[in-house]
Chain A
Amino acid sequence: MKESTKNGNVIIKLKDIVKTFDKETVLSGIDLDIHDNEFITLLGPSGCGKTTTLRIIGGFETPDSGHVFFDGEDITNLPPYKRHINTVFQRYALFPHLNVFENIAFGLRIKKTPEAQIREMVKEMLTLVNLKGFEKRNISTLSGGQQQRVAIARALVNKPRVLLLDEPLAALDLKLRRDMQVELKNIQQKTGITFVFVTHDQEEALSMSDTIVVMANGSVQQIGTPEKIYNEPVNAFVADFIGESNIVNGIMLRDYEVSFAKQTFKCEDFGFAPNEPVDVVVRPEDIDIVPFTDSMLTGEVTSVTFKGDYYEIIADIDNFKWMIETTDKVAVGETIGISIDPNEIQVMKKSEFSGMFGDYSSFSDELDKLSDLSQEDEE
């Protein structure tokens, strides 16, 4: 579970970090390796501990127990100003009494960098974030996207080894957010600085990251590449949080054979105990609709929603509501058959999250939950 996608040298290591606020456990034993030049994303819902983890790396919080290592050196109790780490804060925290130039130059002035060099470095940063000519502008006259860029420039000008980004795109509108995602990724590749990015937006995480760390209830659920996280979620929480999932109870009969919905299916998973109860994940887009006469699973369509490039269908199969994404047009009330290829079946061990997610019978609840998640993270 502790694998990472980059093989470079480990720059930050979290070891068994525990943190409580007012007797409430926020982090219960976080272990994490962050590598040089990696774009790593801490992903999870509100209150999962991702922001606290970031603040511990930045030095703004001290863990109750556990250690933070930087290049192998224990920095758990080092104050923020002594760390080679800079932060892009949620809602930016640009200094209102300074103009754009002085905001970016702030860190350099503290380090007593010569004036000529400051001017050159600030100029270079403004070019990098596409804000040439904004030097004299007042912070309050900038748009959200421009403030965002100043915040990034202000942090990067100090040439940190690691840049922490706390939901930096949450306050931007959708279009700008997409552009900034691409831009941030470009900046990360250009500068070669390790980015630790915090977000609750799974799409953002999937499109930007080298490595995703999925967190819930104060602990790490899964670490892996976006593809791995999406295709091979380790438990019901990860499967549900990243994309849409049908999660059904199953029995692992033997290696490569799983039974669910009263049928036995071939699959690619192995290494479970004989007849072990498991959670089975099938992504809605991996399900094919076939004539019900040819199919092991048949059910009745209860809802059809047009989504532009596909239809989202809810079908009642053996008293379980499945979500299917297809380009085939079917009608409500129609009886359909579905087919699932062995490589589209992901078998997961039972976990504390089993039975909580992945059923589309209460679709409105699902929507509520999604809207909760899209609210800003106020940890």
Chain B
Amino acid sequence: MKTGNLFRKAAAAPHILWSVMFIVFPLLFVIYFAFTDSYGNFTFDNITGLSGYTNTFILSIGFALIATVVCILIGYPLAYFISKTAPSKQKILIVLLMLPMWINLLIRTYSLMSLLDNGGLINGMLSNLGLPKLKMVGTGGAVILGMIYDFLPYMVLPIYTTMTKLDQRYIEAARDLGCNNFQVLTKVIIPLTVPGIISGITMVFVPSISTFYISQKLGGGTFDLIGDTIERQFQNELTYNTGAAISLIMMILILISLAVMNKFADNDEDGGIIV
């Protein structure tokens, strides 16, 4: 018994060491910097001074929300469609879906830029057709498109997984009790795949809200999102403390939204919310 415990502890040691060095300590530093000034004195000024960044927060949350909702609207039917095809085809479709993820995020974003740019592929085609050019890079739409393009697979995969695990008997029972195909979807399949949707939301919303690269490249510098702001603060030694404060607030925001979503998922398992 005792040796077993010892072994378990030994096995966990590398992970604990890793967590302490790269998660706990940095977190403590973030908290330390957030509550001190550049001379190391305790202060709330960094936090209170963040009111000037309210618009940045709202814009970031707004963009991330829109991207997440669009990812659900595209990703859910896509996952449903993939789960309905023959098993051999499903594998191919999933590989196709994952293929972009094998390519570096920066390269993907650059390639999207070269499509949307003023001198890019789409505008090139438009002007060849004698149509006026569209301004795409530098608009909010381009930034949101970038988020959707980069993070869509993270929405589809968890939903697809819960769908393939869904017991066919529930679907047969629903049809038996009078559901047409649409009702089977709304009354049974969607409620039973909520856990997949929740993890999809988490996996799209969190990276969307903290991204800086996408907004810099596709926003053309027009949009200042939280990620951009944090990055800028840490490029200058004098604003480390502000950067730490923004990071801390963003972490708290993400934690709150995750907690809310998990609560929602738990309630759903108890039955009752969705009828």
Tell me the A residues contacting B by CB distance below 8 Å: 58-60, 79-81, 85-87, 89, 91, 93-99, 102, 106-107, 109-111, 138-139, 154-155, 158
What is the distance, in angstroms, from B3's C-beta to the closest C-beta of chain A? 38
* A110 CA / B177 CA spacing, docked (Å): 8
* A58 CA / B169 CA spacing, docked (Å): 13
Contact A81 B175 (CB under 8 A): yes
What is the distance, in angstroms, from A121's C-beta to the closest C-beta of chain B? 14
What is the distance, in angstroms, from A213's C-beta to the closest C-beta of chain B? 22
Contact B271 A93 (CB under 8 A): no
**Chain B interface mostly helix, strand, loop or mixed?**
helix
Q: Say yes or no: A81-B170 contact (C-beta < 8 A), given A95-B188, A98-B271, A110-B187.
A: no
What is the distance, in angstroms, from B185's C-beta to the closest C-beta of chain A? 13
What is the distance, in angstroms, from A99's C-beta to the closest C-beta of chain B? 5
Q: Which residues of A contact B192 (CB under 8 A)?
A: 95-97
Contact B173 A87 (CB under 8 A): yes
Q: Which residues of B contact A99 (CB under 8 A)?
A: 271-272
Q: Which residues of A contact B176 (CB under 8 A)?
A: 58, 60, 80-81, 85-87, 89, 155
Contact A97 B177 (CB under 8 A): no
Tell me the B residues contacting A by CB distance below 8 Å: 167, 169-170, 172-180, 183, 187-188, 191-192, 194, 268-272, 274-275
* A110 CA / B170 CA spacing, docked (Å): 15
* A59 CA / B179 CA spacing, docked (Å): 13
Q: List 13 A-B contacts (CB under 8 A).
A: A60-B175, A79-B175, A81-B175, A86-B176, A89-B173, A95-B170, A95-B192, A99-B271, A99-B272, A106-B174, A109-B275, A110-B187, A138-B270
* A60 CA / B177 CA spacing, docked (Å): 12
Contact B169 A89 (CB under 8 A): yes
What is the distance, in angstroms, from B121's C-beta to the closest C-beta of chain A? 46
Contact A97 B271 (CB under 8 A): yes
Contact A97 B178 (CB under 8 A): no
Task: Report the nearest A residue to B184, measured CB to CB.
Answer: A81
Contact B179 A93 (CB under 8 A): no
Contact B172 A107 (CB under 8 A): no
**Chain A interface mostly helix, strand, loop or mixed?**
mixed
Q: Which residues of B contact A139 (CB under 8 A)?
A: 271
* A58 CA / B188 CA spacing, docked (Å): 19
Contact A154 B177 (CB under 8 A): yes
Q: Say yes or no: A81-B180 contact (C-beta < 8 A), given A91-B169, A95-B170, A97-B191.
A: yes
Most buried by B among A93, A109, A111, A139: A93
* A85 CA / B172 CA spacing, docked (Å): 13
* A96 CA / B174 CA spacing, docked (Å): 12
Contact A138 B271 (CB under 8 A): yes
Task: Report the nearest B residue to A106, measured CB to CB.
Answer: B177
Contact B177 A89 (CB under 8 A): no
What is the distance, in angstroms, from B133's C-beta to the closest C-beta of chain A? 50
Contact A93 B167 (CB under 8 A): yes
* A208 CA / B43 CA spacing, docked (Å): 81
* A96 CA / B170 CA spacing, docked (Å): 9
* A79 CA / B176 CA spacing, docked (Å): 9
Q: Which residues of B contact A138 (CB under 8 A)?
A: 270-271
Task: Report the nearest B residue to A91, measured CB to CB.
Answer: B169
Set A95, A97, A111: member contacting B173, Cβ < 8 A: A95
* A154 CA / B179 CA spacing, docked (Å): 14
* A139 CA / B192 CA spacing, docked (Å): 14
* A85 CA / B175 CA spacing, docked (Å): 11
What is the distance, in angstroms, from A116's C-beta to the closest C-beta of chain B? 17
* A91 CA / B177 CA spacing, docked (Å): 16
Given contacts A60-B176, A95-B173, A98-B275, 15 further A-B pairs with CB under 8 A are A58-B176, A80-B176, A81-B178, A81-B179, A87-B172, A93-B172, A96-B192, A96-B269, A97-B268, A99-B271, A102-B271, A106-B174, A106-B187, A107-B177, A155-B177
